[in-house]
Structure 1
């Protein structure tokens, strides 16, 4: 008896159809190769491809949602691990105002989130694309092998680029520096103007723009994170050390209690005492701990106040008189050597 659905019922469905349970079931019920293959290629395979695409989109959405949650929590307030010991030692008022900038933290978190979401998108849809190719009975084994060989060749040919990108990603994750920070990379010292995965742009004190590859940075010093120590050495010549030390201490105490500058001190300034003695006299060292972004302003102001204090006390005049007296004394001629 001839099948109602297939004019040639002696033929069997394709191998792909017989491997599919639904298609095989349709063939067993209808005994029609035409109906089984038609349903397989016009209904089952398109549905499979649609399901693969939907699953890929759902997986991408879930992963992006997870990344957004992590980025949101990071941007709201947690200090990077490397800054936690610093935060514990600094008063909360100084930390909140200077050490951790919410806008910078938000931008850094968003940059990391953008990179991670791009990686997720590429990974998920690459896998989905290979699965779709396999649905069209295309052997993806040689394709994967070719991609592997191409990846190895690209890795050897672009080692510097890969190194720069990986170093840039870890720089972002570890929050080593950001726009506006003053950093020291060795040859280039200046203010960071832009940060990328491959390069960082630095403008030095003379206005020169330096483009430094992240992979070439072996060590880096950040002068804008946490707190900084201002160290000023004041030469006093051969005047009385106790008198000069007392004058300098009074000056730094008044400076620390000045309402305009008091909030910039992490710890009260200290006059440590004689740091060095040379042919020109003694040198007294003064130190203070301040927020990183205010160190240069505070250093200039402290130098001005110490100078004015020495002038007001008359010590500066004594130093000038001692220098003038020393300059007026002729140097002794070396003794003649006996033949």
Structure 2
């Protein structure tokens, strides 16, 4: 009796692939190998086909959720939004970019999960021992985590910034090393342009704090220095009148949220006394209102003949010379 038998095994189950192949080919060897030649390839093809269809359906669903068609994308409705309505047309661009970025993350996660599971199922069908592969993948993942930790940090920070809507296209922000208007927000890099026209590319993982001047409301602050001999009550009344006139005129009237307020003496230095007034305005409009208030207030102070700070001479009006 030889230790190796060349006779192929017999088919036992009449409903198996073995019996069906034997009836078609009359070959016992092919019938005994039917599991490898027919059953397993069919299962592998089915696994890959199901994975492809699931991924396609998931990506189409994400596309439908991220396409607002002029309205709020459905994907963003459960999330908090801090975008000011004053952005106008830029608001839709901001929402579209935010939805597109979050959608790309979801697509990547879906593709990784579906194809990863399909790969594991295919290896299981081929009889491959998955334990060493999983252990090796864990070691490679740890090595990549240490080597690309800055990249992972940038991506995670970008995802949370998108979900929390910390800033977006059109916002005026201060991120520490750079400040300006946001032009693009990505998962790894935020792009902003400063007042000089310089474009800054800031890694999301390096942003430790963000000062956003375009959310909720803003405050226009105007500090006006006057001399020591100036009548503070007179200056306060004058600034109150000027602020009311400026904020009541267009185009500033539509920007003002609350009436202006003269707070009084803000600072005393050897050269001057500084009077402060504030106005609550729409986000992003504080600088325009500030410039208008400062120009009108300086002109009114000069016309009233109020003493300027030491070392600074206002041109005297004809009334003050008489």
TM-score category by the smaller chain?
0.7 to 0.9
CA contact (8 A) 1:231 1:286 kept: yes
Aligned partners of 1:158 and 1:259: how far apart in 2?
A: 54
User: Once the 2 structures are TM-superposed, how far is the Cα of residue 153 of structure 1 from its aligned partner?
Assistant: 1.0
CA change 1:229–1:79 in 2 (3 A) is farther
| In 1, Cα distance between equivalents of 2:310 and 2:138 | 80
Counterpart check, 1:213 vs 2:212? no
Residue 120 of structure 1 corresponds to 110
Count of aligned pairs between the two proteins: 301
CA distance in 2 between counterparts of 1:282 and 1:320 reads 8
Q: Which residue of 2 aligns with 1:4?
A: none
CA offsets, 1:10-62, max 9 Å, x none? 5217xxx999x843675899997435345434432232122112221232234
Determine the structure 2 residue equivalent to 1:75.
Answer: 73
Indicate the residue corresponding to 1:11 in structure 2.
8
What is residue 140 of structure 1 aligned with on the other side? 130
Deviation at 1:168, TM superposition (A): 1.6
Please show how residues 99-178 of structure 1 align to structure 2 within 5 Å.
101-178=91-168
Q: TM-score, normalised by structure 1?
A: 0.75
Answer yes or no: is 1:180 the counterpart of 2:170. Answer: yes
2:88 aligned with 1:96: no
Segments of structure 1 that go 5 or more residues without pairing to the other structure are 1-7, 88-94, 325-339
User: Relative to structure 1, is the Cα distance of residues 129 and 226 closer, same or farther in structure 2, using a 3 angstrom cutoff?
Assistant: same
SS at match of 1:34: helix
2:260 corresponds, among 248, 265, 269, to: 269
1:113 Cα deviation after fit = 0.3
Q: Which of 32, 37, 42 pairs up with 1:47?
A: 42
Which deviates more, 70-79 or 232-241?
70-79
Q: Who is 1:301 aligned against?
A: 292
Q: Give the match for residue 92 of structure 1.
A: none
CA contact (8 A) 1:186 1:220 kept: yes
1:61-91 CA-partner distances (Å, limit 9, x unpaired) = 34334434543575367495373xxx9xxxx
Moved more, 122-131 or 112-121: 122-131
CA RMSD of aligned residues (A): 3.4
Counterparts of 1:22 and 1:192 in 2: how far apart (Å)? Answer: 65
Could you give the per-residue CA deviations for residues 245-264 of structure 1, whole angstroms, max 9, x where no partner exists?
A: 11111111111211322111
Q: 1:40/1:322 Cα in 2 relative to 1: closer, same or farther (>3 Å)?
A: closer
8 Å contact kept, 1:181–1:223: yes
Given that 1:251 and 1:306 are in contact with CA atoms closer than 8 Å, whether structure 2 keeps it comes out as yes
Displacement, 1:154?
0.9
Distance, in Å, in 2 between the alignment partners of 1:82 and 1:288 is 25
SS of the residue aligned with 1:190? strand
Greater fraction helix: 1
Shift of 1:173: 1.7
The alignment status of 1:278 with 2:269, answered yes or no, reads yes
